Structure 1
């Protein structure tokens, strides 16, 4: 079953297209208050383990999280990749309690801001190493991130049991990892479908962007296959300029953007590698039900849009009254909420539409842990 077929099963969701002028996306008017009582920096993470991981092939390329031209706000700076990089950055202090946490407790929302500290469930967790572009496995038991040396690592949620998955070649920048996990059912096993536990990420090699994949337990990264849908008129998909992958769904599907053509793409890896362009935008995320959220520039500001019901489904602006850039959106595990980054912190908005609510003053990359 292809993504196209599966996505068409998703019913179109009626989205509220009008958010009142006095509501949240006058971002400075959002309520910054929240229950941060009792939120404290967690203890220093246990010592990391760094088994030797194979080095990525020297010719393997990658991509920064630079937005396509349709989005005006750049995401957080990518890790500086280099085998010869100096020691990891060690910020001197955790973010302040009230400013960092606000309303994250009980939401599953985490925020990584390029330091060693991660806002998580009403706490500020010290991972003991720089954490960039944090992403969670579907079961929430492992984190993947780019460390201070630009390498790909995984760890437990408290930063312990860190594993070096792969080292970035000198001069190559890696960013924005995402998990691809597939656990075959009995019927899937009968079709000889194999389980998957991979990490996909973007990488930049002297300005050339590509998507790479590597087993989550470690290995040599390889370029991610991007096959076309089996339509008679299908054009070859671009294999460079791709960035910002996000995986979802039990079949290991994913979405990504292309910096060169400004398109959002879907990729299906069920029976075969298939995919195609969906819409104009950047920084996409995919829900387990096959809905998309992405960024598109409107009247000088970056807005969040959803697309439901598959390739031909309707699109709705979730932030029609935005007076500042809304970027880096991510679905909650149940697909009902979208978290996003604004210039003054992290907000959430119902996926069906509504008033955005500020949830953290920390400015960084939002992600949901199941």
Structure 2
């Protein structure tokens, strides 16, 4: 199954989960050979941490250091070797570059932010109904008066409505704001074609307000550079892109090869030439999806059917499973 196909299946599963009350949310965290462990204990107060379920120590392995966090659509987020109760379903968790703010779609389908412990939740934008919101990412840029560029502190995310998906933005500090569609203009060139305005999904923020996103209709990954008056272009065939905060050249994405989803990277050339595209998992015997890049750009985390793996960003070593917890990996700068 391709990454885009599995994403549609995952979206449907998330929609089903949304109908479950928070009190009945299950924590799916099983070891390598265990069946899913159901959490039957009463949920703690928001912001508290709890011990891992009995019999599943492997589920939290690998999250006690390095800023790796894992969310699975339940109210719990795995981090720092334990799990934190956010008091609501947490979908598509993302972190601000400084690690101080979590952004996610909550149990009501609204766009929310909170402290890393789940406390202080604030609704940035409220879903009017009839829409599915997903995959928020921070768009942060310091002011650059010399070049006429104001500071940016936004959240970019996806709104699916009426069978169409589109990228929207809203100030990250807002309260109940109305999202606005973002501009997607092609970089001027003789053979430049207009960029698709709809069908876009999976945005991920990078340095200086830049971001990447994918379009399942075209099957390509795109880059959007806010420093160039909201201009962008296609990078390569792929899906589910991630961008490092340190350099917009550090981009990882998913591409199907010989029956499995591989991780690919746009690699620096060092001479200003066309970036190389490198398969980081050429010997894949499983699917690697939903990649995330560590704050320092040195590590990549990805989801597999057996849990979360990490590998060097340059592909110099094979992926190693660090957690049996099955969910969306993200890195928090802590």
Query: When the two structures are superposed, what TM-score results if normalisation uses the length of structure 2?
Result: 0.84
Q: Could you tell me whether the CA contact under 8 Å between 2:300 and 2:313 is conserved in 1?
A: yes
Q: 1:114 to 1:327 in 2, by over 3 A?
A: same
1:252 lines up with 2:209 in the alignment = yes
Q: Which residue of 2 aligns with 1:230?
A: 188
For 2:285, the equivalent position in structure 1 comes to 323
Match in the other structure for 1:6: none
Q: Aligned equivalents of 1:273 and 1:233: distance in 2?
A: 18
Q: Which residue of 1 aligns with 2:11?
A: 77
Is residue 145–residue 153 contact of structure 1 (8 Å, CA) maintained in 2?
yes
| Residue 124 of structure 2 is aligned to residue 165 of structure 1 | yes
2:299 to 337, 347, 360: 337
Taking only aligned residues, the RMSD between alpha carbons, in angstroms, comes to 2.2
* Aligned-residue offset at 1:355: 1.5
SS in 1 for 2:303: strand
Residue in structure 2 matched with residue 53 of structure 1 by the alignment: none
The CA distance in 2 between the partners of 1:242 and 1:365, in whole Å, is 20
Scaled by the length of structure 1, the TM-score of the pair is: 0.76
Structure with the bigger percentage of helix: 2
CA contact (8 A) 1:228 1:237 kept: yes
Whether contact under 8 Å (2:104, 2:136) holds in the other structure is yes
Aligned ranges 1:98-247 → 2 under 5 Å: 98-184=57-143, 188-218=144-174, 219-247=177-205
How far apart are the structure 1 equivalents of 2:122 and 2:238? 34
- Confirm or deny: 8 A CA contact 1:254 1:268 kept in the other structure: yes
CA shift at 1:352, angstroms?
A: 1.2
1:307-343 Cα deviation digits (max 9, x unpaired): 1238821111111111111100111111111100000
Give the match for residue 46 of structure 1. Answer: none
Whole-Å Cα distance in 2 between the matches of residues 208 and 155 of structure 1?
29
- Superposed displacement of residue 279, structure 1: 0.3
Larger RCO, structure (CA 8 Å, separation 6 or more): 1
1:180-234 Cα distance to aligned partner (Å, 9 max, x none): 01112xxx22333211110001121122011010011222100011111122321
The match for 1:62 is none
Unmatched segments (≥5 aa) in structure 2: 27-38, 40-49
Q: Which residue of 2 aligns with 1:304?
A: 263
Unaligned stretches of 5+ residues in structure 1: 1-66
Aligned twin of 2:275: 313
Would you say how many aligned residue pairs link Structure 1 and Structure 2?
Answer: 297
